Amino acid sequence: MKIAIEGCCHGELDAIYAQIGALEQRNKYKVDLLLICGDFQAVRNHRDLQCMAVPDKYRQLGGFYKYYTGEKAAPVLTIVIGGNHEASNYLWELYHGGWLAPNIYFLGHAGCVQVNGVRIAGASGIFKPQDFRQGHWERVPYNHGSMRSIYHIREFNVRKLSLLSSPTIFLSHDWPQSIEHHGNLPELLRRKPYFREDIKKGALGSPPMMGLLHTLQPEWWFAAHLHCRFEARVVHETASGASIGTSAVDKNPDEIAIEDDDDDDEKAGTTEAEAEVSPINNGDVAAAPRNSDEIVLDDEEEDIVAPPPAPLPPAETKFLALDKCLPRRQFLEIVDVPVPASFTPPSNSSGPVLAYDAEWLAITRAFHPYMSVNRSQIPFPDEAQAREAVRRELEWVRSNVLEGNREKSVDECQQFVMTAPAPGSEGAALKQQPPHYPNPQTAAFCAMLGIENRIDPPPSLSSHPSHVPTD
């Protein structure tokens, strides 16, 4: 399966699809899937622009609305995550994931799906320690602070992702912290000399993302945010049966004082002290150990006649970050990812099949009681309890959602619906933030899993005095 990877989109869908078309024509192949690593900017109308944390000169409608209204059609199945310059109100509508437009799917604030059997997971937003342990309290209308904190990744979502068994592909907007040491660092510094101070402090990138990289050990990890192309390879060594992934979220981010400066895309946004924060792992990862040195043989056992098995190569994650979509920038790349031999396409399918991932559905059910929509976060279970809950919920998913061994197609549950008016139909208050629009896709997803829909609050709770803009 040929997969196109895009760095930051910044509303330039037309240019990205045109580039894919040019590559297809030049190289005589067909791209099956496009993955976009954040700053997608799913702006439906002028009022959505008021929910995007960018300077006023960058509040431009962009081209997404044409795909939203049906004026244009996405020529390739597109999966996106969120970054730090988004119409955050729309992404909140689809917190659990859903169709932003026909053939353009948002993975959610965190999520995992399958395309032709290839597991693709991802995390939206960027890391800021002061918000990491909060609940999802932000609601429209946003003030200056909540318009930024809403896209700061939460521990809740990192813990959910850490319970996955290894996906093939992982998407993040942030780079994993210290990933630069696994690639050509001198060349990176030659091109981006202002990274030097953050790198010296250990402050380039996201600590939770590096923790997830070691925990999940995906084959591929794609990212954006820092607006440059960079390759790295992370070899996952093991020692005494334990992964080198750190165990974490036990540090207290409240002890760390930093400036919340999200408007500078080129800065990493963490400090040396923050580097100690990483996702849960406790050494109990889902992927089997790959290092034969963990196998201890009894030299006094006389009846062993077969030689020991050949050593397995260590697991390796290929990391690739890409630039934003601008002329003469390295913003797009094509990779070949094999389809699992076990995948059998439905008889009526004519293109890539987007399906839910059963394990992620089980994790969503197991962790839903801990989803807070207030500032304070409900205490989490320990890892053993969490994994046992996921095991139980996986049985529920197999019995109540799946049909036999077949993964459930997303289209069987969620269909795209326009929830906000198109440009020109939103009324005269173009500079005001819109109301919250309940999204039928979120309601359908929650109904499928039998969980409470906490994204669409009752009308009396849809706003709060603390959310009134102060600007």
Cis bond before residue 141 (omega within 30° of 0): yes
pLDDT recorded at residue 254: 31
Cα three-residue angle 95-99-103, rounded to 5 degrees: 150
Cβ-based neighbours of 42, under 8 Å, separated by 6 or more: 48, 64, 68, 80, 86, 87, 90, 91, 100, 101, 104, 106
Cβ-based neighbours of 391, under 8 Å, separated by 6 or more: 362
How far is residue 67's CA from residue 102's CA, in Å, rounded to a whole number? Answer: 7
Stretch 145-161: mean pLDDT, rounded? 98
Q: Which two tokens stand for residue 366?
A: 């197991």
**The amino acid at 347:** S
How far is residue 212's CA from residue 50's CA, in Å, rounded to a whole number? Answer: 33
Distance from the Cα of residue 259 to its chain's centroid: 24
Q: Grade residue 261 by pLDDT with cuts at 50, 70 and 90.
A: very low
Would you say residue 274 has pLDDT above 50? no
Distance from the Cα of residue 265 to its chain's centroid: 18
pLDDT recorded at residue 27: 97
Q: Grade residue 297 by pLDDT with cuts at 50, 70 and 90.
A: very low
How far is residue 37's CA from residue 170's CA, in Å, rounded to a whole number? Answer: 10
DSSP type of residue 347: T
DSSP E strands in 40-176: the ranges are 77-80, 98-101, 104-106, 110-115, 118-123, 169-172
Region of 341 please: left (phi>0), alpha (psi -120 to 50) or beta. Answer: alpha
Of the listed ranges 57-66, 88-97, 109-118, 367-376, the least confidently predicted one is 57-66
Cβ-based neighbours of 219, under 8 Å, separated by 6 or more: 168, 169, 316, 317, 318, 337
Of the listed ranges 76-85, 351-360, 396-405, the least confidently predicted one is 396-405
Spell out the alpha helix ranges (H) of 144-233.
146-149, 155-162, 185-191, 196-200, 207-216
Q: Grade residue 257 by pLDDT with cuts at 50, 70 and 90.
A: very low
How far is residue 83's CA from residue 150's CA, in Å, rounded to a whole number? Answer: 11
pLDDT recorded at residue 309: 62
Q: Is the distance from CB of 230 to CB of 301 less than 8 angstroms?
A: no
How far is residue 190's CA from residue 470's CA, in Å, rounded to a whole number? Answer: 42
Report the chain's terminal Cα–Cα distance, integer Å.
48
Tokens 């992982």: give the residue. Answer: 170
Burial (CB < 10 A; 0-12, 13-18, 19+), residue 383, is middle
Stretch 93-113: mean pLDDT, rounded? 98
Q: Is 326 helix (H, G, I), strand (E, B) or coil?
A: coil
Helix (H) or strand (E) holding 221: strand 220-223
- From 374, 366, 465, 382, select the one nearest 134 (Cα to Cα): 374
pLDDT digits (tens, 9 = 90+) for 375-421: 999 999 999 999 999 999 999 999 999 987 789 999 999 999 999 99
pTM here is 0.85
Q: Which two tokens stand for residue 50?
A: 């008021």
How far is residue 75's CA from residue 17's CA, in Å, rounded to a whole number? Answer: 7
Classify domain 2-237+311-449 by CATH number.
3.60.21.10
Q: Is the distance from CB of 158 to CB of 208 less than 8 angstroms?
A: yes
